[in-house]
Amino acid sequence: MLPSPQQNQLLKALPDLEYVRILSMLEYVELPLGKTLYEPGGCLQYVYFPTTAIISLLNELQNGATAEIAVVGNDGVLGVSLFMGGGTSTSRAVVQSAGKAYRMRGNYLKQEFNQGGPFMRLLLHYTHALIAQMAQTAICNRHHSIDQQLCRWLLLSLDRLNSQHLAMTQELIANMLGVRREGVTAAAGRLQQGGVIQYTRGHIHVLDRPTLENRACECYKVVNEEYKRLFPQLNLGVNT
């Protein structure tokens, strides 16, 4: 039996009549770890509504250096450029945590968006929240320590899994944060020594979430609060 599309909180928030109409336009897909969904400059054919997968938006320099600018999980939709008029991606979209999603053809999405109504409003609110996340990530990467960035990143990722466990190597985390692997190793080691996380062979388990939140910079709270403000009736994959 396929998972319900309503595991994605944007789809869950739709009124019943809107949801039933859109349901026939959704296609179930499985997203393996590391799969690239969008390339910079590529034309977008689909938008994705993750249910259990997490997707990273990465910007890359000419020398190959990368940094994550946002994460998309069960809180939202991947491919906002399609309904905002751009039609192409400026970032690489890579599956950070394997899982499931539903996708919709771009022409269907634009058709629904142009009708206005609840679906359009939800998509616009989410776009605002995504921009806020990108802006906060930029200032976090510039001004906060690797330890703080790692805590923020872990919390944002775990919230979108509704779990305290994440399958992720330190090398991949370093690529996401745009820092050296040695820095992530040291930061993760300090968290493990403090009893905050347990890290073994690419698996991170959070043992003490309150302490993890205390060690994170204010950026996590800023992003969290913006989601709550925009979606007061929902818990969009973000713990309260």
Domain at 5-116, CATH homologous superfamily: Jelly Rolls (2.60.120.10)
Q: What is the pLDDT of residues 8-40, one digit of tens each?
A: 999 999 999 999 999 999 999 999 988 999 999
- Sign of the torsion angle spanned by Cα atoms 127, 133, 134, 136: positive
Whether pTM exceeds 0.85? yes
Mean pLDDT for the stretch of residues 112-129 = 93
- What is the percent of the chain with per-residue pLDDT over 70, rounded to a whole number? 97
pLDDT value of position 235: 60
Instruction: Give the residue with greater pLDDT, 207 vs 175.
Output: 207
Best CA proximity match to 48, nearest among 15, 3, 95, 116: 95
Would you place residue 112 in the very low, low, confident or very high pLDDT band (cuts 50, 70, 90)?
very high
Would you place residue 218 in the very low, low, confident or very high pLDDT band (cuts 50, 70, 90)?
very high
pLDDT value of position 75: 92
Residue 223, H or E segment: helix 218-230
Q: What is the pLDDT of residues 61-75, one digit of tens each?
A: 778 777 889 999 999
Mean pLDDT for the stretch of residues 46-55 = 96
pLDDT value of position 203: 86
Q: What is the pLDDT of residues 169-188, one digit of tens each?
A: 777 787 777 788 888 888 88
| Domain residue limits, the chain | 5-116, 141-226
What one-character-per-residue DSSP string does 151-162 give?
A: HHHHHHHHHTTT
Instruction: Give the residue with greater pLDDT, 137 vs 179.
Output: 137
d(C-alpha 151, C-alpha 158), whole Å: 11
Would you place residue 220 in the very low, low, confident or very high pLDDT band (cuts 50, 70, 90)?
very high
d(C-alpha 66, C-alpha 57), whole Å: 10
As a CATH number, domain 141-226 is: 1.10.10.10
pLDDT value of position 62: 79
